[in-house]
Amino acid sequence: MDKKRLAFYYGILLIAVGLGVFYRIPQVMPRVGEIEFFSQKLGLVKFCFYTLGVLLVMAGGIRVFKNYK
């Protein structure tokens, strides 16, 4: 398997993980809210999770776009 094909599949994997982060955030946030330290910082935690998801999807999209030919 050549490096371009491997980078293409790695990009698809990054996109899938990023979408998985978006899928899990609503399910995990009530559990995070139960932790006393994070109960008053839920907005910041949610922002960080969504930023992580966006960055994963962007990185995967860049890899797929660059190696699609």
If one counts the domains in the chain, the total is: 1
Q: Which parts of the chain are beta strand (E)?
A: none
Domain extent for 47: 3-66
- Give the model confidence (pLDDT) of 7-45 as tens digits: 999 999 999 999 999 999 999 999 999 999 988 999 999
How high is the pLDDT of residue 3?
82
Query: Is residue 40 packed enough to be buried (19+ CB in 10 Å), middle (13-18) or exposed (0-12)?
Result: exposed
Closest to 16 measured CA to CA, from 66, 67, 57, 64: 57
How high is the pLDDT of residue 11?
95
Q: H or E stretch including 69?
A: none
Q: What is the pTM of this model?
A: 0.87
Q: H or E stretch including 37?
A: none
